[in-house]
A and B are shown apart, each in its own frame.
Chain A
């Protein structure tokens, strides 16, 4: 929290940035990372501190750079499909969906209804799974490792379901242009519903143990406040914005797949600090569970799940460009794909929500926070570096 006092030990802020002289000896520059600072992936924070309080923060990425966007320039459309999911570990499905959706739109392909339902189900499962991993980081960064143990276990149960459905635990490689690769295995739906019950039960415990924890409340409340006027300035999306009372959810605003056939309300909060964001996310987890149940109930029992593609070895897509977005756990995930009429995409641009959250926003929010809270702050923004450096 920014506390301006007379004779403050902090240097003056000019345009939101501290003015300080490092050689004065009053300040110290330390690095946090690039080990995972919480469960956020490898990135590092270059912190200038005064005592244990941060007066300047500079983020550094590049520890995970694999050049996905460049790799795709050399690959045929179908060959990009195994690449995209690797852009984000906790919820690869959004990459798969968005790349497929862009390709389908450019190629003028309509996928079967069943595929749309299965994709929606998959995306909601991915959201839930990603949130479960996030709780682990959030709780862990405030010293509540036990909760992380619970939710990471639950995440594994979810991964079991993914494994049975798609054949892979982490990188599912399931939604490809044209639809999905397979229908549900026998008995899988029941297993999914059982797992949801277990998750729900544990979530209740998490609420008790975390959201009603005096220590957590003391540390998280007031940490890294995002005000509604910052939202557009920094391109903030997802729960980070919703916690500030900004009612925006792509699933509702620009419904994709079958979200217009599902019944849900946009979750909003009143104050976007670390605690408020936690609250929103936990409510969104209950929402995801509810959505999955709705999908299971409403979706057609059978039907084709894949549209015939032209021979993928020679598949050329008409020149054009498009942008598709979806609401992932962290906010707006988007793919911009440009085709020049050849068999390989000219440009694939991946818009990950962490791009703005973890860099510009983090640098802004970190100032005048306590060094011990940086990990918690970072996790509360729910960022994943691989989508920053695609």
Chain B
């Protein structure tokens, strides 16, 4: 892919993956990511910021920031993945490239705790007014545990596991399974 070859001469980009003929993913280093995105927008016609989000890879202690850019001339998508460590996670803002990016960044700050210094309205509430727990979209936030703690189960509900129930009824003796 020409874009990739050219970019890789100038920036730290790697791992070109062709998902479909019209969708490629590349990985960029944290330092070069915004420059790569900027180059894609200004030089290669990827003018449409489709979305900008985070995937939490808790096991690897990484956040994968994903910029999805679209080129309307070629009808081609480019996903730029940036792997960054999960602690004190900060990233350069891209609101200067697309004003709409501020909303994405505001949401990511709230839902994942990713900071984008300088992004307008970054610390304003997005969807979670009054939220005090850890950012809820992080994978270490356990929704089940939270819901069990915050709400109460409907009384009177009880389920049975067929195999356990059949054991109790049909072969309860210690002689049968031990």
A and B in contact, CB less than 8 Å: yes
Please indicate which of the listed interface residues A61, A320, A360, A388 has the most CB atoms of chain B within 10 Å of its own CB.
Answer: A360
Please indicate which of the listed interface residues A71, A320, A332, A359 has the most CB atoms of chain B within 10 Å of its own CB.
Answer: A359
Q: Across the interface, which residues of B come within 8 angstroms of A232, CB to CB?
A: 47-49, 98
Q: Across the interface, which residues of A come within 8 angstroms of B98, CB to CB?
A: 232-235
A320-359 at interface with B (beta carbon < 8 Å): 320-323, 325, 332, 334, 336, 338, 346-347, 349, 351, 355-356, 359
How far apart are the CA atoms of A193 and B126 in the complex, in Å?
Answer: 44
B85-122 at interface with A (beta carbon < 8 Å): 98-100, 102-103
How many B residues touch A, CB cutoff 8 Å?
37
The answer to whether residues A74 and B144 also contact, given A235-B100, A355-B103 and a CB cut-off of 8 A, is yes
From A74, A322, A347, give the contact of B143 (CB < 8 A): A74
A389 within 8 A of B: yes
What's the minimum C-beta distance from B95 to chain A, rounded to whole angstroms? Answer: 9
A65 within 8 A of B: yes
CB <8 Å contact, B100 and A360: yes
Query: From DSSP, what is the main secondary structure of chain B's interface residues?
Result: mixed
Interface string of B54-98 (1 = CB under 8 A from A): 011100000000101000100101010000000000000000001
CB <8 Å contact, A248 and B143: no
A48-73 at interface with B (beta carbon < 8 Å): 58, 60-62, 65, 67, 69-71, 73
Closest residue of chain A to B58 (Cβ to Cβ) is A346
How far apart are the CA atoms of A388 and B51 in the complex, in Å?
Answer: 12
From B57, B72, B127, B139, give the contact of A65 (CB < 8 A): B127
Chain A's interface size range is 35 or more
From A62, A70, A235, A325, give the contact of B129 (CB < 8 A): A62
Query: From DSSP, what is the main secondary structure of chain A's interface residues?
Result: mixed
CB <8 Å contact, A336 and B103: no
CB <8 Å contact, B19 and A320: yes
CB <8 Å contact, B103 and A347: no
From B51, B72, B75, give the contact of A334 (CB < 8 A): B51
CB <8 Å contact, B19 and A359: no
Q: Across the interface, which residues of B come within 8 angstroms of A237, CB to CB?
A: 48
The answer to whether residues A332 and B50 also contact, given A254-B75, A322-B20, A359-B103 and a CB cut-off of 8 A, is yes
CB <8 Å contact, B100 and A233: yes
Q: Across the interface, which residues of A come within 8 angstroms of B124, CB to CB?
A: 58
CB <8 Å contact, A351 and B143: no
Q: Across the interface, which residues of A come within 8 angstroms of B66, CB to CB?
A: 336, 349
A253 within 8 A of B: yes
CB <8 Å contact, B103 and A323: no
B38 within 8 A of A: no
How far apart are the CA atoms of A325 and B128 in the complex, in Å?
Answer: 27
A361 within 8 A of B: yes
CB <8 Å contact, A234 and B99: yes
How far apart are the CA atoms of A334 and B141 in the complex, in Å?
Answer: 26
Q: Across the interface, which residues of A come within 8 angstroms of B139, CB to CB?
A: 73
B1-28 at interface with A (beta carbon < 8 Å): 19-20, 22-23, 25
CB <8 Å contact, A253 and B103: no
From A65, A235, A254, A325, give the contact of B49 (CB < 8 A): A235
The answer to whether residues A321 and B137 also contact, given A232-B98, A235-B48, A360-B102 and a CB cut-off of 8 A, is no
From A235, A338, A346, A389, give the contact of B127 (CB < 8 A): A389
CB <8 Å contact, A322 and B19: yes
From A347, A351, A359, give the contact of B50 (CB < 8 A): A351
How far apart are the CA atoms of A228 and B8 in the complex, in Å?
Answer: 32
What's the minimum C-beta distance from B144 to chain A, rounded to whole angstroms? Answer: 7
What's the minimum C-beta distance from A244 to chain B, rounded to whole angstroms? Answer: 14
How far apart are the CA atoms of A233 and B47 in the complex, in Å?
Answer: 8
Binding site for B on A (CB under 8 A): 58, 60-62, 65, 67, 69-71, 73-74, 105, 232-235, 237, 248, 253-254, 320-323, 325, 332, 334, 336, 338, 346-347, 349, 351, 355-356, 359-361, 364, 388-389
Top-3 shortest CB links A-B: A62-B127, A389-B127, A347-B55
Instruction: Show 22 A/B contacts (Cβ-Cβ < 8 Å), sorted by A.
Output: A60-B129, A62-B126, A62-B127, A65-B128, A71-B143, A74-B143, A74-B144, A232-B47, A233-B100, A253-B72, A323-B19, A323-B77, A323-B79, A334-B51, A336-B51, A336-B68, A349-B53, A355-B103, A356-B100, A359-B100, A360-B102, A360-B103
